[in-house]
């Protein structure tokens, strides 16, 4: 998505000289996290790369995950899946149809556009594009099945489907009462050769509450669905239920395949249960920017729109060229932590669209003599990243940002704006990116 990345990986030479901010993405950390999760799971794993790989960049993350052993890639929207297939083709990754040994990765997309069968069968329909792209697709309703079967007939192929059942989340998926009719229709479409039901799956709603009993209820409903599907004569061979939380905290939910998203990026699905560091995960994203202006303001001077923060003493403040259009939540006003050199400080006043002001400390000591500015124009500021092992650098974590903004780590990384260039470091990055 960013103009500074290519499909096959980094292209830091294309980093715009004019850019003042960057997200440094550590591909070695991603590979480490993938291998660690795979070891824990003990079953094949899907790298979930929806939403531009949670803001980290689709192509480089997908290829890194495959090199770390992922046998599946998962995205939500069909449009994302088509983009992903084009990236994989360009990178020379074999498609399942071209790889008789079964070693080629599969791509699953679980949100399809709504379409009537006549439209689905048209030469240019997105569902026919999905079939041409060798995607695995999810189905939850009869009308989805009708559209998919129509597309498959028109394309003279067999659609590979994963039947999604609702096991207690009440989001997507077939309800138990609708399942017999849907399963019977699937069976007819299988007999006709239009579809193949390769998977049965669902999603956990409270995997991060290991003692709530919720996952056990999901499992009961899953087994009921499995019986209905089996009675209809369907034989899905891939059963999957767990995302990162299920993988980590509910071994019984691992089944044949786990779908790992947040853990791959080095973050815990719920740091209040276990932190990423405790899990041995390494955060892959570091958001940094440069200080573009440093100034001294008088005691009582208000800062930014609305004057919601005023200097408690004569003060040094600095300007950082990142704002809510870049994904810095406006909720971080006067609270979002920022590291600069060895110093931890915070945003003061409101987050603007393109910029924030940070506190750099008092401009006078108790005796009234002037203090020099503790930071200079051009210094690197870090909004979030992996904590510095040597402790020499102040680096706020994504989890601290989530807490400061009343949200979750998923949202902090995923909302990172398209305007921020992604720079790749670590294995497969094609050269080290030198921090300024």
Ligand X SMILES: *Cc1c(COP(=O)(O)O)cnc(C)c1O
The binding site for ligand X (CB under 6 A) comprises 48, 50, 76, 110, 203, 243-245, 259-263, 269
Residue 378 backbone dihedrals phi, psi, to 5 degrees: 100, -15
Shortest distance in whole angstroms from residue 264 CB to ligand X: 7
Catalytic option among 50, 164, 324, 424: 50
What distance in Å separates the CA atoms of residue 51 and residue 33, rounded to the nearest whole number? 19
The SS3 assignment for 345 reads: strand
Catalytic residue flag (residue 305): yes
Shortest distance in whole angstroms from residue 154 CB to ligand X: 28
Between vectors from CA 138 to CA 136 and to CA 143, what angle results, nearest 5°? 125
Task: Find where tokens 């891939």 sit.
Answer: 238
Picking from 232, 349, 379, 283, the residue whose alpha carbon sits closest to that of residue 55 is 283
Shortest distance in whole angstroms from residue 267 CB to ligand X: 8
CB-facing half-sphere around the CA of 217: CA atoms within 13 A: 14
The SS3 assignment for 255 reads: coil
Q: Are 212 and 204 in contact (CB under 8 A)?
A: no
Q: Which CB atom, from 345 or from 409, has the smaller least distance to ligand X?
A: 409
The residue whose Cβ lies closest to ligand X is: 261
Shortest distance in whole angstroms from residue 201 CB to ligand X: 8
Q: Give the sign of the dihedral formed by CA 260, CA 266, CA 267, CA 268.
A: positive
Q: Which two tokens stand for residue 364?
A: 């006078």
Q: Which CB atom, from 49 or from 358, has the smaller least distance to ligand X?
A: 49
What distance in Å separates the CA atoms of residue 190 and residue 211, rounded to the nearest whole number? 40
Shortest distance in whole angstroms from residue 360 CB to ligand X: 36
Q: Which CB atom, from 214 or from 244, has the smaller least distance to ligand X?
A: 244
Q: Which CB atom, from 62 or from 357, has the smaller least distance to ligand X?
A: 62
What distance in Å separates the CA atoms of residue 8 and residue 386, rounded to the nearest whole number? 25
Catalytic option among 54, 164, 265, 305: 305
Q: Which CB atom, from 111 or from 418, has the smaller least distance to ligand X?
A: 111
Q: Hey, which residues are catalytic here?
A: 50, 305
């Amino acid at each position: 998505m960013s103009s500074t990345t290519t499909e096959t990986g980094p292209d830091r030479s294309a980093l715009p000289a004019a850019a003042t901010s960057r997200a440094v993405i550590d591909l070695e950390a991603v590979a480490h996290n993938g291998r660690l999760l795979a070891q824990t799971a003990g079953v094949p794993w899907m790298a979930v790369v929806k939403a531009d790989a949670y803001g980290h960049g689709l192509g480089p993350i997908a290829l890194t995950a495959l090199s770390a052993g992922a046998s599946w890639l998962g995205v939500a929207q069909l449009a994302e899946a088509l983009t992903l297939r084009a990236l994989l083709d360009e990178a020379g990754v074999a498609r399942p149809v071209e790889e008789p040994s079964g070693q080629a990765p599969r791509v699953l997309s679980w949100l399809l556009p709504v379409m009537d069968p006549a439209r689905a069968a048209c030469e240019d329909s997105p569902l026919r594009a999905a079939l041409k792209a060798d995607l695995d697709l999810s189905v939850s309703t009869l009308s989805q099945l009708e559209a998919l079967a129509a597309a498959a007939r028109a394309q003279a192929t067999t659609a590979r489907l994963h039947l999604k059942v609702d096991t207690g989340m009440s989001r997507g998926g077939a309800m138990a009462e609708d399942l017999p009719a849907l399963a019977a229709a699937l069976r007819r479409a299988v007999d006709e050769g239009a579809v193949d039901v390769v998977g049965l799956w669902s999603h956990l709603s409270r995997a991060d509450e290991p003692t709530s009993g919720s996952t056990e209820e999901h499992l009961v409903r899953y087994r009921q669905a499995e019986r209905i599907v089996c009675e209809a004569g369907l034989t899905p061979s891939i059963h999957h239920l767990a995302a990162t939380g299920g993988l980590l905290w509910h071994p019984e939910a691992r089944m044949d395949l786990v779908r790992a998203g947040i853990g791959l990026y080095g973050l815990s699905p719920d740091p209040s249960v276990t932190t990423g560091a405790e899990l041995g995960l390494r955060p892959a994203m570091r958001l940094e920017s440069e200080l573009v202006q440093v100034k001294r303001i008088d005691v009582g001077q208000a800062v930014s729109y609305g004057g919601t923060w005023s200097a408690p003493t004569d003060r040094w403040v600095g300007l950082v060229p990142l704002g809510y259009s870049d994904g810095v939540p406006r909720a971080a006003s006067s609270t979002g932590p920022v590291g600069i050199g060895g110093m931890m400080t915070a945003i003061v006043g409101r987050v603007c669209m393109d910029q924030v002001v940070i506190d750099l400390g008092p401009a006078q000591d108790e005796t009234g003599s002037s203090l020099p500015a503790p930071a200079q124009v051009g210094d690197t500021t870090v909004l979030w990243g992996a904590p510095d092992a040597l402790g020499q650098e102040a680096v706020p974590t994504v989890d601290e940002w989530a807490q400061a903004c009343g949200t979750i780590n998923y949202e902090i990384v995923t909302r990172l704006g398209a305007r921020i260039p992604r720079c790749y470091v670590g294995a497969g990055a094609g050269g080290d990116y030198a921090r300024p």
